[in-house]
Amino acid sequence: MDILALEAKNANVADAEKKSTPKPKAKQPKKAKRIVYFEVEILDLKTKEKLLLLDKVGVRVKEKVGITLVFNTKSLRDEEVLQTLPVGTTAIFYFSDLGPQLTWGTVFLAESVGPLVLYLMFYFRLPFIYSPKYDFTSSKHWVVHLACMCHSFHYIKRILETLFVHRISHGTMPLRNIFKNCGYYWCSAAWMAYYINHPLYTTPLYGQQQVNAGLYIFLFCQVGNFSIHVVLRNLKQPGSKVKKIPYPTRNPFTWIFWLVSCPNYTYELGSWIGFTVMTQCVPVALFTLVAFIQMTVWAKGKHRSYLKEFRDYPTLRSSILPFIV
């Protein structure tokens, strides 16, 4: 009897444990994601004529139509999606024909190859440039040869950086702009080369000391400019659109990032100042002044962009010149 009572008691305990153990809840079926479709209307930017009506467009409108679109007077970027734009279920965009385009890489190469070739034409004094008696003659001044080496080095460096260093975006430039850009660089190079390589060119006022000072400034800034370009390259991975704040590295030439947002322009300006000191040539000085004005405009725009995109952007930095501009 005692054995039977013990077995019955154990059975009751097991039943109680089963009842007290909660049963696992059945998994709820996942709700299907709600897909939002848009109705997109494309109008001509100039005539406002309806060109196209797209029904049930998903997220990316530019993948659907493959054209340049304008929304609220701003061109849409490739990565923008309909869900992030201030539109309802019906969106109206304007078609804008940008005409023939060139890649930025092509433009950069054209801007650099032209000055390199043109300067060498004046340096070797090809016919129809100076008086016939000076054809294919060489200058007696060492600074003229030094200036040719520095000028050539600068533009060869730019070409190599365009090919192997810069991460150039897939953006394009209107074909007509290449004539304006190349005209500026090519004509400036020819103008300064004409006077530096002229048979009547006079050497700098303070002689070799002035030439050496200009050369040291030029070389220092060229190395600095390259160092900044490497930092900017490493800042952005291939194919990535994530933007980051550039900071100094262990390379001392990058420490200027503590004070300036666009030190590549700072070093570029320094290079041309050094070239001006070395050659003591008025066209070079005027080219440097115009370049400084243009690079200041670019640097200010980039600086404003940094301040807008990053709340923790260093407040001590200036655009191009520390504590000045």
Q: How far apart are CA 199 and CA 214, in angstroms?
A: 22
pLDDT band per the 50, 70, 90 thresholds, residue 212: very high
The confidence score (pLDDT) of residue 63 equals 45
Q: In what order do the strands lie in the sheet with 74-75?
A: 50-57, 38-44, 90-95, 69-71, 74-75
The confidence score (pLDDT) of residue 19 equals 54
Nearest Cα to 278, choosing from 122, 184, 141, 115?
141
CA-based angle 86:90:91, to the nearest 5? 55
Count of Cβ atoms closer than 10 Å to residue 22 Cβ? 5
Each residue of 105-147: pLDDT tens digit? 999 999 999 999 999 999 999 999 999 999 999 999 999 999 9
The confidence score (pLDDT) of residue 182 equals 95
Model confidence at 66: pLDDT above 50 = no
The confidence score (pLDDT) of residue 100 equals 86
The confidence score (pLDDT) of residue 1 equals 47
Mean pLDDT to the nearest integer, 186-194: 98
Helix, strand, or coil here: 74? strand
Q: Under a CB-based contact definition with an 8 Å cutoff, are residues 212 and 139 in contact?
A: no
Model confidence at 253: pLDDT above 60 = yes
Q: How far apart are CA 224 and CA 113, in angstroms?
A: 22
The confidence score (pLDDT) of residue 59 equals 54
pLDDT above 70 covers a percentage of the chain that reads 75
What integer best gives the mean pLDDT of the chain? 85
- Own/partner pairs for 79-82, CB < 8 Å, 24+ apart? 79/241, 82/38, 82/40, 82/57, 82/58
Model confidence at 64: pLDDT above 50 = no
Q: Under a CB-based contact definition with an 8 Å cutoff, are residues 264 and 270 in contact?
A: no
Q: How far apart are CA 40 and CA 64, in angstroms?
A: 10
Q: Under a CB-based contact definition with an 8 Å cutoff, are residues 71 and 93 in contact?
A: yes
Q: Under a CB-based contact definition with an 8 Å cutoff, are residues 214 and 189 in contact?
A: no
Q: How far apart are CA 241 and CA 18, in angstroms?
A: 57
The lowest-confidence range among 88-92, 133-137, 177-181 is 88-92
How buried is residue 42: exposed, middle or buried, by Cβ count under 10 Å (0-12/13-18/19+)?
buried
Model confidence at 241: pLDDT above 80 = no
Model confidence at 272: pLDDT above 50 = yes
pLDDT above 90 covers a percentage of the chain that reads 62
Helix, strand, or coil here: 320? coil
With tokens 């404003």, the residue in question is 304
Mean pLDDT to the nearest integer, 168-193: 89
pTM of the model: 0.78
Model confidence at 217: pLDDT above 90 = yes
Mean pLDDT to the nearest integer, 59-88: 56
pLDDT band per the 50, 70, 90 thresholds, residue 72: low
Cβ-count burial 68-80 (b if 16+ within 10 Å, e if not): bbebeeeebeeeb
Give the contacts of 257 (CB within 8 A, at least 6 positions apart). Answer: 228, 231, 246, 247, 248, 263, 317
